[in-house]
Amino acid sequence: MKRLKIKEVLTGDQIGKEVLVKGWVRTKRGSKNVNFIALNDGSTINNLQVVVDVDKFGEELLKDINTSASLGITGDLVESQGSGQKVELNAKEIIIYGKADPDKYPIQPKRHTLEFLRENAHLRFRTATFSAVFRIRHAMAFAIHNYFNDKGFVYLHTPIITASDAEGAGQMFRVSTLDAKNPPLTEDGAIDFSQDFFGKPTNLTVSGQLEGELGATALGEIYTFGPTFRAENSNTTRHLAEFWMIEPEMAFYELVDNMDLAEEFLKYLIRYALDNCLDDLKFLSERLVNEEKDKPQDQRSMELIEKLNFVVSNDFVRCTYTEAVDILKNSKTCKAGKFQFPVEWGVDLQSEHERYLVEKHFKKPVILINYPKDIKAFYMKQNDDNKTVAAMDVLFPQIGEIIGGSQREEDLNKLETRMKEMHIPVEEMSWYLDTRRFGTVPHAGFGLGFERFILFVTGMGNIRDVIAFPRTPKNAEF
């Protein structure tokens, strides 16, 4: 018999028929005569209730059916007598694929902390929370490709190993096959990278943007979607050492076109989640309400689905960095000395400042533009005031910066001058500068941090809980 997924069985279309399902036991409860197994196969947050006649199958078999045991069950699908579910399966045949010893299996059917589940990340997919998170993550990845494909963007696979530091921030992981204990040295005692695998120092990429620009200035509009790596020692709930980034890059786009695209893109993805992941979102919404029930009213977050609808149906605020600094300096929070970090024109805004703007002041997502050139990367377009660049950061509630991007400097002279000022090796980047030498065009792009976005959509609080196997300082388990 052909196996059906539980998602399909739960629609009720098969009522009155015999079906075969396969999955893992979430819970088993019952009386002397009848047991109820909640079976889940990952296709949906909802479990299928299986009714088992104890006499028919015997205590011996039933004692091996514990949480996380894997089963194949054939039975008759009937309308459920109990409340809570539409259908249930009257078991006729049960195969146990694998037992799970309840004395040893770590994830019991009770409320575990997220910290505990992080330590057991290899098994946490078996919980309702994590299965919901990873189904949504999948749906969002799919929607991203859908969105760009519909708009005629080309998916460009940019390299993971690179010799250049796109962001110029020096936070790269070295890739080398040299003997770390005994590397070859040059005459003046430096490590001789000419003997390394690529004949020069190489690293894991922090961004696919520079190669993306090469693609965009011929294909028109491209996007990348891949892993990026940053060796920044930030042990926060919003930083990973390995994270995924989506980087569209568009020829003939100026800053305002870039902002329009970012806003439309984010709203498309959120709408897609609302339209396609509602069961999972409802579950995660309840989870959040539960988690925050002991917090005072004014510290609780907006209900998840309401929050997502709110973002989809409101325009993002667009505001310059200079205006934002004025707002922050004039805020009660600042005057009462309640920001941890100082605010002055010229400083990089901290997440407390970003969140103040979004959550307290504007109460909407914000696109901040025209940042001081000294806190931004070399490639950003220089504004006429000589002080700022055409940068844009999209700020979201609870997250802070979710997107960073800019219009790019397309003038070869200006770009070279800026690179020299910032000690970027112009010679080695000659390939990049060729885009400005031959048929240069105004162009722009941005990077969306995939995990930060998934945090927002799922309402989870820690970035380690929205990537399957998080890499953070001192942690590369599994």
Name the one range near ligand 4AD by CB under 6 A: 310-318, 346-354, 426-434, 443-451. 443-451
Q: How many CB atoms lie within 10 A of CB 205?
A: 29
Counting residues that bind ligand 4AD (by CB under 6 A) gives: 22
Residue 445 Cβ vs ligand 4AD, minimum distance, rounded to whole Å: 5
Residue nearest to Mg ion (CB): 404
Q: Does 222 bind ligand 4AD (CB under 6 A)?
A: no
Apex 137 CA angle, 256 and 455, nearest 5: 65
Q: Give bridge partners of residue 98 from the DSSP assignment.
A: 70
Nearer to ligand 4AD (CB atom), residue 326 or residue 401: 401
Q: Does 358 bind ligand 4AD (CB under 6 A)?
A: no
For ligand 4AD, what does the binding mask look like between residues 164 and 203, x meaning CB under 6 A?
Answer: --xx------------------------------------
Q: Does 215 bind ligand 4AD (CB under 6 A)?
A: no
Residue 451 Cβ vs ligand 4AD, minimum distance, rounded to whole Å: 5
123-128: Cβ within 8 A, 24+ apart: 123/68, 125/42, 125/468, 126/24, 126/68, 128/26, 128/40, 128/45, 128/283
Name the one range near ligand 4AD by CB under 6 A: 53-61, 156-164, 317-325, 396-404. 396-404
Q: Does 245 bind ligand 4AD (CB under 6 A)?
A: yes
Residue 241 Cβ vs Mg ion, minimum distance, rounded to whole Å: 16
Nearer to ligand 4AD (CB atom), residue 232 or residue 303: 232
Q: Give bridge partners of residue 155 from the DSSP assignment.
A: 223
107 binds, among Mg ion, ligand 4AD, none (CB under 5 to 8 A by kind): none
Q: How far apart are CA 165 and CA 230, in angstroms?
A: 11
- The pair phi, psi for residue 171, each rounded to 5°, is -110, 55
Residues lying near Mg ion in the complex (CB under 5 A) are found at 404
Nearer to ligand 4AD (CB atom), residue 28 or residue 239: 239
Nearer to ligand 4AD (CB atom), residue 28 or residue 353: 353
Angle, to 10 degrees, between the axis of helix 255-276 and the axis of helix 450-458? 50
Is residue 422 within 8 A of residue 168, CB to CB? The reply is yes
Instruction: Find the DSSP H helices in 159-254.
Output: 209-219
Is residue 119 within 8 A of residue 107, CB to CB? The reply is no
Report which residue type is found at 396.
F
Q: How far apart are CA 241 and CA 475, in angstroms?
A: 10
Q: Does 404 bind ligand 4AD (CB under 6 A)?
A: yes
Q: Does 443 bind ligand 4AD (CB under 6 A)?
A: no
CB burial of 419-437 (b: ≥16 within 10 Å; e: otherwise) equals: beeeebeeeebeebbebbe
424 binds, among ligand 4AD, Mg ion, none (CB under 5 to 8 A by kind): none
- Please give the structure tokens belonging to residue 302: 């907006």
Nearer to ligand 4AD (CB atom), residue 257 or residue 326: 257
State which of residues 405, 442, 459, 470 lies at the interface with ligand 4AD (CB under 6 A). 405
Residue 408 Cβ vs ligand 4AD, minimum distance, rounded to whole Å: 8
Q: Does 451 bind ligand 4AD (CB under 6 A)?
A: yes
The residues, ordered by sequence, that sit 6+ positions from 108 with a Cβ below 8 Å of its Cβ are 67, 102
Q: What residues make contact with ligand 4AD under the rule CB under 6 A?
A: 166-167, 207, 209, 230, 232, 239-240, 243, 245, 247, 401-405, 445-447, 449, 451-452
